[in-house]
A and B are shown apart, each in its own frame.
Chain A
Amino acid sequence: MAVLSLPVRHIRALRGTAKATAVGSGLQRAQSFMIVATLLYRASHLTVGVLAVAQHRPRLPLQYAGLAVALAVSALVHGTAWRRGWFERRSVWADLLVTGCVLPLVLCAWGGAREPATIGWAMLLGGSASAVASIALDRLHALAVIGLLVVTHFAGYQAVGASPAVIVGHLNSLVASAAMTWVFKWYLCRQGRLLDEANARALAAEAHKARYAERLEHHRALHDTVLATLTTLAAGGVDANAPEVRERCAREAAYLRRLIQRTADEVHHREIGAALEEAVGSVEGLQLRVTAQYHELPQVPPEAAAAMGDAVREALNNVRRHAGTGHAYLTATGDPDGHGGVVVTVVDRGPGFDPDRYEPGLGLRLSVHDRMAEVGGRASVDTAPGEGVRVELRWPG
């Protein structure tokens, strides 16, 4: 059996829109903000360091080396935090020990710093290190680390003979940096979480509203069809066995059957379900019985759902015009090996045709192939004389 797969343009643009642009949650945004804020804090300290080293032009290379190490460790801490979304504990510890403790002591011991002013820039880095520690480490670890910083810096300043006012001021800023950063983070993350919860509630309410609207829609449809028919039959006066009454009953039973299948699973797939239903509804009044089976329809972009609906309508119209059986089979399922894709088939058991001698009619070409191609989908027609016709639609193609 030949497979008629006409060349179609594949427009992939829609695939991108299916994966919504990842806007972080409120919590993620709070964390990103804290990463940026502590980075700026550290950057201000490093700037002081660069200026101090440049100004004093120390003879010993240790000052330059110390500055380079501080820059490298800072890049490590904030670089990984930026990449991963939050601070990595190991690099934070490295920063604390290297720039917070070792660097000032080394400068005191061998860096030729014999007065407070020359190691001031290195001491300053302790402030931004304690800020990061307070938010990146467990509470106990953070307290221990800040204690360690205080002791080290006290010892360092003592060694260079700083005045008590300088020492107290510096230790105060070490602790205050940590405390303030912790408070900021606590507040922002709390707000972020609250925002996330509010968003989740809003989304749930939206979904609920959509389901309610859908139910109303169904009720309206039931009122106009099944209820009206049953009421008429109950009142008597019409012959329930008349062909047109039976046909109407069969049509409405088929509608109910599809409705139950569509609403059976909790997954919300309003777009594709509604589009298919519309397509089936449009041909059902025209002496075509449609046996529809749905399974795990995924959520697809509205454009794709609309295209599928149009293509199915045309395929069903083809069955109606050419199959001569008055019966079409429609299946729609989630792509078994796919990632949110959908496969729809429209099948008839009519005479089929010879695909080698067949010029695709305007309907199949325009409304099925081109319509699917427009949204990045694919259509294939499979038939042989005496074999019926099978139209398969896939999205994405």
Chain B
Amino acid sequence: MARVITVAVVDDDRMLLDGLQAWLGKVPELRLVATAATVTELLGAPPDGRLPYGSGGSGSGSVSRSGVGIGNGLNGLNGPVYVPADVVLLDLVLRDGSAPADNIRRLLRTGSRVLMISTVPDRSRIIEAIRAGADGYLTKDHDLPTLVAAVKDLAAGRSAHSVELAFACAHDNSPARPQLSPRERQILLDYASGLTLKSAARRAGITVHTAKDYLDRVKAKYQQAGRPTYTKLDLARRVREDSLDGG
């Protein structure tokens, strides 16, 4: 089995955190290493390279309870030091009023990949999040396998696609939207309508691989459009993605 993927969750709904913790506890490949109500709370202090992944976590159960309560993620035991998780699940709208784009950029800077989650698909915010560099988006009503698949995709350097993200991009009519080719648009629309990628590819007469390429390209276009400041980091991440894809 591949190495365990570490996951952190930022959400201000305690019940959801508890639920996720119970859920992820059933998945051996994932480990919930930190939970927090805000990004600031999660990050605490600048990352400290000395600590290995998961240090201080004595199992996901105790971790997330202490995390929410104390407010310093799993590192409550070791002091306010945050070790970046592979994937952070980030609630789209946090009650502290922080801007989603800022939250995403802060998390990306730590080297984590960011999967947005929210209760209601608020399309303009989804677009904003993708432009800010988030790698995927899911509504909270998905089942566990869908969530796990998305986390695994992100951790492996692939991008995670979802119907609601495709719908948001397909029906984005903001002036800043990137130009999509007719093919990209068709695949996007078909995928957004609920078709599997396989069916969408068959309808367009292309391979699944190419169809996924189109979806990736759409997301890349959005990320490109909203990416001025952290090019270096992104470059590093791209290199990582490429090497992973190649392998």
Contact = CB atoms under 8 A, between A and B. Distances in A.
Partners in one complex: yes
Interface of A: 1, 250, 253-254, 256-257, 260-261, 291, 293, 295-296, 328-331, 333, 345, 347-349, 382, 384, 387-388, 390
A1 B203 contact: yes
A388 B199 contact: yes
Counting from the closest, the 4 A-B pairs by CB-CB distance are: A329-B194, A347-B194, A295-B171, A345-B193
B53 interface: no
Nearest to B204: A1
B119 A257 contact: yes
Given A331-B167, A333-B171, A347 B121 contact: no
Contacts, number: 65
A229 to B, nearest CB: 15
Nearest to A344: B193
Contact of A261 (B121, B141, B190, B198): B121
Contacts of B195: 347, 349, 388, 390
Interface of B: 119-121, 123, 139, 141, 163-164, 167, 171, 173, 190, 192-196, 198-199, 202-203
B202 A295 contact: no
B120 A384 contact: no
B141 A345 contact: no
Contact of B193 (A250, A256, A257, A347): A347
Given A329-B163, A347-B194, A347-B195, A257 B203 contact: no
B120 A390 contact: no
Given A253-B141, A329-B163, A345-B193, A293 B199 contact: no
20 contacts: A1-B203, A250-B141, A257-B119, A257-B139, A260-B120, A291-B141, A291-B163, A293-B164, A329-B163, A329-B193, A331-B193, A333-B171, A347-B193, A349-B195, A382-B203, A387-B199, A388-B195, A388-B196, A390-B193, A390-B199
Contacts of B139: 257
A260 B190 CA distance: 23
Contacts of B194: 291, 328-331, 345, 347-349, 390
A293 B199 CA distance: 19
